[in-house]
Structure 1
Amino acid sequence: MVRLELLGRFRVTYGETAVPDETWTRRDTAALVKILCLAPRHRMRRDRLAATLWPGLTPQAAATNLRRTVHLVRRLYPGHYDVVPVESVGDMIGLPAGRVWVDVVAFRSGIAQARRTRSPQAYAAATDLYRGTLLPDDGDEWLHPHRTDLHRDFVAALEEYASLLEAAGHLDEAARVTRLHLAADPVAEAAQVRLLRVLALAGRREEATRAYRDLTAPGAEAQHLHTELRVRHPARLSALLWEQVGDLRMAAGDTRHAVSAYRSGLELPGPAPEVARRHRLAAAAHLGENDDEQAERHLGLAEELTTDPAEQARIVGLRAEQAWRRGDVDTALCLAEVARAHAGMYGTAADLARAEEAMVLVTHLRDGWREGLEAELSRSGAALDGATFGHAFERHHCVGLRHLLCDKHSHGMAEDARQLLTRATDVRSVRAQAFAWCLLGESLLLRGHFDEAAGCLERSTELHAGLDVNCGAVPWLRLAELAACRRRFDEVGPALRQASAITAAAPAARHTWPRVHATAAFARLELGEPELAVRSVRAAAAATARHGGCQSCGASLHPVAAEAYAAIGDAAQARAHAASAAEIAAAFTGSAWQAMAEAAAGSAALAAGDPEAAGRRFRTSAELHEEAGQVYWAGRAHRQATMAARGHVV
């Protein structure tokens, strides 16, 4: 094997023998190898490679230089290395197939594996591969995007790694990794706060104070925690900090580590109201882990310890979740209604938002989502336009997507949306009208009625603009998707920027970020830029690790991701996304879900070098999309099947 290292330095090793540094005195020979290390499948077309190496030369002169440089690279190594350092296949030049290990590829594959497993050991192995900035001594312009992306990946991985260590109680190691994070990104406020928090939890309060003084421009949250360190009792502060860690892991969808953090907080003494709250939070985490026995124990203790009506309402909300998880949806509906009523009387705006969101989910599970939404309109009317209901309508968008992709409901969704629009207009709810216009536009878009869809989605964005700033990302997302389908690529970026700005402030970002990045990746694929599509897929993985994910809202990411990875020759990642798509298809009923899974499997088959199997999968995907009434996606799958038959990856 040829081992090529680019992180922190440039080094080439054959077996146990390192190629001497003086071998690379010619800039052209080293640059040729470096470019191929970073290229998809370590291959590049001759004309593109020549233009990258010599951007100021004519194509003819650059091609001449390339031939000479390839010849020089091949002469650099003695014959006993038993490998051709650079191969030519047709109009492609590449590194020896199956004979190279590149640290950049291993680093990115390691992070992907760590995110799938949420294993601190996997994060340790991946981040250890980042030995420093990509080729720090090189100033070539083509390197800058790669360098920026890799540094961003490293910082995100360190943040995720430190979060897992902290929640698992490995505080000294969490402090070490967080210091690495701050060294790479000194103004990262989340890392500033985490460093102070883990040092405090480890009983290293003086060290936490010194660390605060060493921070570069500490943020408001770090300043607040520094004050708390000085004035609050250590045991009580530790209990509150463990609760904060649990809350952060719950927000990221990591219920397993949330359980661990809440358990640590409950081991410390505190006033009865605070202990009751921690029992309720622990119960929520256990419900997320499908551990009903432990959830029941914590709920019982929370009920015994609390006399606060608002906290009692929150417990009733968890009782509703407990009921629907065990399949008793009627009881869940009754309890959710009680929780909503009590939250309205005694709770905060956040409590009411959670209760409204629970009602959306329960009515959906009871197969009465549309009726529940109409009842909500009748009950609340124009009050729905308040910021409190923004969270609930984000959930409505999630449930609406499930209905759009469900055979039972999809064919009638356009008419349902029109009826909802009429009802929303009657009760003068702008938010409900905006939602109805979006739902109608989505239905028309999926059925290929592009012009009508555009008008509906644009109307939805106009209505959302008059509401709170943290809602209305979905119509912008659909407008971006529509522009990509129409190949109006100059319209994709502005729409995605609008969606991203809204998502950054939204309370339900886990529903929207996967769709933002999936749409960006799809547009890049349509433009013939699979490397940039993969960049969007990686961004989606980082967002999911930070904010959590939603199976249904993230469903469209996996077929796009599998296609992008297949196009750059990463069969392992294509296969992983195909497996995720299959898992989602098994969880939801409908031909559209199956169609996405088949498309992802087709891309994985292509990446594995089996075009015949890929063609079968793409044809099945096309048939399933046709069954779902999704004209555009059926046509696209047919084109993929045709290209697979010709042996094309994309």
Structure 2
Amino acid sequence: MPVVPESWSQRKPAALVKLLALAPGHRLRREQIMEALWPELDQRAAGANLRKALHSARRSLGTHEGNELIVSVGDLLCLPDGTSVDVADYWSLVAVARRSREPDAYQVPIEVYRDGLLPEDLYEDWAAAPREELRLDWLGVVEEFAALLEARGELNRAARAVQQLVAADPLREDAHAWLMRLYALAGRRDEARRQYARLRELLDVELGVEPRPETQRQFEEINSGQTSDPKLTTDLWERVGDLRVQSGDPAGAVKAFGQALADSADPAEAGRIHRKCASAWLMQHLPDEAEPHLAAADGLAPDQAEHGRLVCLRANLAWERGDFATARRLAERAHAIARADGDSADVAAALEALAFIAHVQGDWRPGLQAQIEGLAGVALGVRVARFCDFNHCLSQYQLYGDGLAGDVEEYARETLAIAERADAIPAQAFAWCLLGESLLLRAQWDEAEACLERSCELYAPLGSRSVALPWLRRAELAACGGAHDDAAIYLKRAAAIATVTPMARHAWARLHATAAFAALERDRPEEVLRAVRATQSAAARYGDCPTCSALLHPVGAQACALVGDREGAHAHAAAAAQFAGSFASSAWSAMAESAAASAAVADGDLYAARERFESAAALYAEVGHSFWADRATAQANSVRDGLERRNVQGTRPS
């Protein structure tokens, strides 16, 4: 029922309704409302004001079918089920857009945002946090929308989107630089020059600084180029393709690299772009599409380092076709070339190829140990994050896989001994973390904490581009034990690492999943939902790793059920089921069962919920994951108690 603004004679009753509309599940405790609206008053005075505001709000809202529209349930004040709120609509539309990755789907939530959240309450403290959260997400959505358009060659539409970013934050230099690039790609170089002039003037007047060196270099590229200069277009399109790869959009990268090839005149440059295009096709598991680009690049490699990169891609192509013997041989050759003539990224890429081939062939464990033995006297340097993070990702299959999880602890101890003999510090840190993870899953808290702490100590001297996983596992352990302040500290440390790691899609997926779990353990479902949304945003920016974000789905489904979001709970249950179907794992099947149980809770089907939680507990127990088995059992018992209360009240179906 619409309520016209003139119905509100006072601000506080309107603020009460807005608070409830913004709250998860549209419900808040009276104490929360009093603290938000009258923080300066004692509880008695604030309570009196709340009663007055509630009376006035109910009078303004009226009734629907004889029922009041603000309901009291114990200490809670609630809006009725089925209440439609435009903010909730926005979040739903964003989720749909990020799942589809279709530009047209992005336009809808961008337009729904309009002037932001509650512009009439600009100076109200209670509105500040949700307004800023919505604003930051909207900026991210506009970025994703513009990047999709750019990768598809819709340059003028992309430029209009980036103009919104510049208007929202005129001092955001990267948005100005992006707009300059789009203008140049579209042949609108005069506008690119004017955009740079505006940026330079803004920075000088507002901050007293010049544009960053990279922005100045970009301007010089554009300023010195002519409309017919193919080199300028090639460079810019190649840069677009690199950005699309980074954000997990290989289809967009292929289109951008194709544009770069169309204008390329230099053979070595063309060979490099062909190689990148082949890599983007392989990211989509399309070896037949990659093959012609590899063939074209083979004759254009200017040196051994580039030749080694092509050999590594040939190894990837071979494993995509199921020829693992050839894939291993080529990956070993690529590794040797990279060690002799390549750079750190080349070595890391070859090691990743070897690790993945070993994983799919079922001999990842001895393969990793052999690699660690070969590290004796070798400094990994900046390769450490990629080497360790990639193997940490593969190790999750060991921790959660049927027939694998039972002896991970023993394997971790063996690997630690090998790493110590080789004096390979990063490998020692890896082994300590894996050992701590196996103990954590078995609820051996003290031993797990000691191992994870040691892993952090060994990773820390490696600098900012270290590995976030041991810090995240420590956060998980702290949340399990109720040490919520410690969990927050560990999450913050992990976030700093994730910000600069070259393995961002792994780090952010794990980070937000762990943050969601920590928030759920603190009984803060609204923070869980915020972490879920942050995961979607990170996946759109950096790409996704289903393995690393697996925990998010049972936790997200539970939070959605707690706030009455049936659609969200079922979306997480479906995602968990899809992931569980990709690998034979009782633990991941248990996550799917747990998420399905929470979706049943959201539906009000407590019988199905109890059965699904009990199934989850049994599956967790099969792989020895004691903590999660006990947690699922507790959830089943809670649902059973709810059923008993309902039956006592005579509502059990006949």
TM-score (ref. length: structure 1): 0.93
Deviations 1:46-67 (A, max 9, x none): 4433443333444444444333
Counterpart in 2 of 1:125?
108
Q: Secondary structure at the match of 1:76?
A: helix
Q: Secondary structure at the match of 1:549?
A: coil
Distance in 2 of aligned mates of 1:495 and 1:387 = 23
1:609 aligns with 2:604: yes
Q: CA deviation at 1:458?
A: 0.8
Contact 1:73–1:85 at 8 Å: present in 2 too?
A: no
Distance in 2 of aligned mates of 1:173 and 1:282 = 24
Deviations 1:37-90 (A, max 9, x none): 101122223443344333344444444433333332333367799985433445
Distance in 1 of aligned mates of 2:72 and 2:353 = 60
Which residue, out of 250, 253, 276, partners 1:258?
253
Contact 2:277–2:293 at 8 Å: present in 1 too?
A: yes
Q: Secondary structure at the match of 1:129?
A: helix
Contact 1:163–1:174 at 8 Å: present in 2 too?
A: yes
Q: Flag the 1:626–1:346 CA change in 2: closer, same or farther, 3 A.
A: same
1:95 aligns with 2:90: no
The aligned length equals 631
Q: CA deviation at 1:236?
A: 1.2
Distance in 1 of aligned mates of 2:548 and 2:52 = 51
Counterpart in 2 of 1:30?
14
Q: Secondary structure at the match of 1:472?
A: coil
Q: Flag the 1:425–1:211 CA change in 2: closer, same or farther, 3 A.
A: same
Contact 1:559–1:599 at 8 Å: present in 2 too?
A: yes
Which letter does structure 2 place at the counterpart of 1:415? Answer: E
Contact 2:609–2:636 at 8 Å: present in 1 too?
A: yes
Q: CA deviation at 1:468?
A: 3.6
Which letter does structure 2 place at the counterpart of 1:129? Answer: V
TM-score (ref. length: structure 2): 0.92
Which residue, out of 54, 57, 63, partners 2:38?
54
Alignment of 1:572-583 (within 5 A): 572-583=567-578
Contact 1:159–1:191 at 8 Å: present in 2 too?
A: no
Contact 1:511–1:549 at 8 Å: present in 2 too?
A: yes
1:222 aligns with 2:215: yes
Contact 1:155–1:185 at 8 Å: present in 2 too?
A: no
CA RMSD after TM alignment? 2.0
Distance in 2 of aligned mates of 1:30 and 1:400 = 53
Q: Flag the 1:145–1:303 CA change in 2: closer, same or farther, 3 A.
A: same
Q: CA deviation at 1:642?
A: 1.7
Counterpart in 2 of 1:319?
314
Q: Secondary structure at the match of 1:75?
A: helix
Q: Secondary structure at the match of 1:270?
A: coil
1:363 aligns with 2:344: no
Distance in 2 of aligned mates of 1:489 and 1:583 = 32
1:348 aligns with 2:356: no
Distance in 2 of aligned mates of 1:537 and 1:199 = 35
Which residue, out of 12, 15, 23, partners 1:39?
23
Q: Gapped runs of 5+ residues in structure 2?
A: 204-210, 644-654
Q: Flag the 1:308–1:564 CA change in 2: closer, same or farther, 3 A.
A: same
Q: CA deviation at 1:411?
A: 1.0
1:113 aligns with 2:106: no
Distance in 1 of aligned mates of 2:239 and 2:564 = 42
Q: Gapped runs of 5+ residues in structure 1?
A: 3-13
Distance in 2 of aligned mates of 1:190 and 1:555 = 33
Distance in 2 of aligned mates of 1:381 and 1:225 = 43
Distance in 2 of aligned mates of 1:450 and 1:382 = 35
Deviations 1:404-431 (A, max 9, x none): 1112221111111111111111111111
Contact 2:241–2:256 at 8 Å: present in 1 too?
A: yes
Counterpart in 1 of 2:647?
none
Distance in 1 of aligned mates of 2:464 and 2:34 = 48
Counterpart in 1 of 2:525?
530
Distance in 1 of aligned mates of 2:213 and 2:577 = 44
Contact 1:167–1:245 at 8 Å: present in 2 too?
A: yes
Contact 2:275–2:294 at 8 Å: present in 1 too?
A: yes
| Larger mean Cα displacement after TM superposition, 190-199 or 547-556 | 190-199
Distance in 2 of aligned mates of 1:624 and 1:97 = 34
Which residue, out of 477, 482, 499, partners 1:482?
477
Q: Secondary structure at the match of 1:380?
A: coil
Q: Secondary structure at the match of 2:56?
A: helix
Contact 1:330–1:366 at 8 Å: present in 2 too?
A: no
1:456 aligns with 2:451: yes
Q: CA deviation at 1:280?
A: 1.4
1:293 aligns with 2:288: yes
Contact 1:385–1:430 at 8 Å: present in 2 too?
A: no
Identity within the alignment, % = 45
Alignment of 1:3-402 (within 5 A): 14=2, 19-76=3-60, 84-98=68-82, 100-138=83-121, 139-215=123-199, 216-217=202-203, 218-232=211-225, 234-402=229-397
Contact 2:385–2:503 at 8 Å: present in 1 too?
A: no
Q: Secondary structure at the match of 2:84?
A: strand
